[in-house]
Homo-oligomer: A and B are copies of this chain.
Amino acid sequence: MRKIPPSTRRSGCPLNASVEMVGDRWSLLIVRDIMLGGASTYAEFLNGHERIATNILADRLRKLMKDGIIRAVPDPTDGRKRLYRLTGRGIDLAPVLTEMVLWAAGHEATGNRALTQQMRDKKKFLTGIRKRWQA
């Protein structure tokens, strides 16, 4: 696995590196929309349940690309548009998403029980995600 060189982070702690990259209100929701919801266009992200604002979406997409978590490819049906895909690094966020979902679902009455149920078998769920994305 290629590691990027150490950057100018507030500390060398790997948890700090994680929160500097995805520790905000929106980045992981965008990753979720791609990974689990099959979203790939700007319009699809805007239509997410949480109603992200356009300026925040644009900023987060830029930051996720800078951090190598997603990449943009031209839409083959319309070259002026871009499709957003997860990189290997982005796919590797699946266990983080899983644990965050299970944590909240364990402590609060949340919706989307089908997803939570699937995630409880972590190994099977993560294998499925990796297979789908590496295809």
Question: Which A residues are within 8 Å of any B CB, using their own CB?
Answer: 1, 3-7, 10-26, 28-29, 32, 48-51, 68, 89, 92-93, 95-112, 115-116
Question: How close is A87's CB to chain B, nearest CB, in angstroms?
Answer: 10
- Assuming the contacts A3-B107, A106-B92, asked whether A101 and B24 have C-beta atoms less than 8 A apart, the reply is no
Q: A15-B28, A17-B104, A96-B103 are in contact. List 20 more A-B contacts (CB 8 A).
A: A3-B108, A4-B107, A4-B109, A5-B109, A10-B51, A11-B50, A12-B110, A12-B111, A13-B50, A14-B101, A14-B110, A18-B103, A19-B24, A19-B26, A23-B23, A23-B26, A68-B107, A93-B103, A96-B96, A96-B100
